Amino acid sequence: MKFLAELERVLKADERFIGEDNNVIKTRVYDAAMGTDGLLVRSLLDSDLMRESFFIRVDDVYVFDKMKFVWVLESKEFLPDSYTLYRNKIGLVDRGNHLISQQQDVSLVWPYKDCFLEGGQTKEDQKREEIFYNETLAPDEVNRLLEPKVLGNARRYTSNGVEDGIDFNDNDNLIIKGNNLLALSSLLKRYEGKVKCIYIDPPYNTPSAANTFDYNNSFNHSSWLTFMKNRIGCSLSLLQENGFFVVAIDDNELFYLGTLCDELLGRENRLGVISVVHNPGGRQDEEFFPTAHENMIVYAKNRSKAVLNNLPMSEKKTNEYNMTDSIGSYKLRGFRRSGNNSLREERPNMFYPIFFDPQSNRLTLEKTDNSIEILPIDFNGEERCWRWDRDTFLARKKDYLVVKERNKTYDIYVKERSTDYKGEKAKTVWNKPEYTGQSATTTIKQIFGSKAFTYPKSEFLLKDIIHIFTNPGDLIIDFFMGSGTTHAAAHKMKRKYIGIEQMDYINTISVLRLKKVIAGEENGISKSVDWQGGGSFVYCELLEVNESLMKALQIAKDSEAVKAVLNQATKDGKLIPSVLPSDLRDTEEDFNNLALDKQKKLVAELLDKNRLYVNLSDLDDEDMAINEEDKAFTKSFYGLDGRENI
Q: Is the pLDDT of residue 210 over 60?
A: no
Mean pLDDT, range 414-422, rounded to an integer: 86
Note whether 626 and 150 are within 8 A (CB).
yes
In terms of pLDDT, which residue wins out, 212 or 550? 550
pLDDT tens for 572-630 read: 777 776 666 666 777 788 888 899 988 888 888 787 655 678 999 999 988 788 999 99
- Using DSSP's 3-state secondary structure scheme, residue 376 falls into coil
Note whether 542 and 177 are within 8 A (CB).
yes
Residues in contact with 494: Cβ distance below 8 Å, sequence separation at least 6, in sequence order: 472, 473
3-state secondary structure 136-151: CCCHHHHHHHHCCECE
C-alpha 191/C-alpha 474 separation (Å) is 12
Confidence of residue 460 (pLDDT cuts 50, 70, 90): very high
- SS3 breakdown of the chain: % helix, strand, coil, rounded to 5? 35, 20, 40
3-state secondary structure 449-478: CCCCCCCCCCHHHHHHHHHHHCCCCCEEEE
Note whether 107 and 93 are within 8 A (CB).
yes
Residue in 474, 489, 531 with CA at minimum distance from that of residue 159: 531
* C-alpha radius of gyration, the chain, whole number: 32
pLDDT tens for 513-540 read: 999 999 999 999 999 999 999 999 999 9
Residue in 347, 369, 363 with CA at minimum distance from that of residue 411: 363
- Name the H helices within 236-360: 254-265, 315-320
Q: Is the pLDDT of residue 394 over 80?
A: yes
Note whether 374 and 361 are within 8 A (CB).
no
Note whether 473 and 493 are within 8 A (CB).
no
- Strand runs labelled E in 304-381: 323-324, 329-334, 354-357, 362-364, 372-374
Confidence of residue 405 (pLDDT cuts 50, 70, 90): confident
Strand 400-404 relative to strand 195-200, pairing: unpaired
pLDDT tens for 324-371 read: 988 889 999 999 999 889 999 999 999 999 999 988 889 999 998 889
C-alpha 147/C-alpha 77 separation (Å) is 24
479-488, 501-510, 606-615: segment of lowest average pLDDT: 606-615
C-alpha 55/C-alpha 43 separation (Å) is 12
pTM across the whole model: 0.81
58-72, 475-489, 593-607: segment of lowest average pLDDT: 593-607
Residue in 280, 285, 210, 284 with CA at minimum distance from that of residue 252: 210
DSSP string, 266-290: -GGGEEEEEEEES-TT--TTSSSS-
Residue in 373, 370, 366, 374 with CA at minimum distance from that of residue 357: 370
Mean pLDDT, range 159-166, rounded to an integer: 96
Q: Is the pLDDT of residue 299 over 80?
A: yes
Q: Is the pLDDT of residue 477 over 80?
A: yes
- For residue 403, the 8-state DSSP code is E
In terms of pLDDT, which residue wins out, 471 or 315? 471
> Which pLDDT score is estimated for 605?
78
> Which pLDDT score is estimated for 214?
46
Structural domains in the chain? 2-117 (no CATH), 151-310+426-540 (3.40.50.150), 315-420 (no CATH), 547-645 (no CATH)
**Sign (positive or negative) of CA dihedral 166, 167, 169, 174:** positive
Distances, alpha carbon 102 to alpha carbons 107, 111, 259, 261, 568, in Å: 11, 21, 14, 19, 56
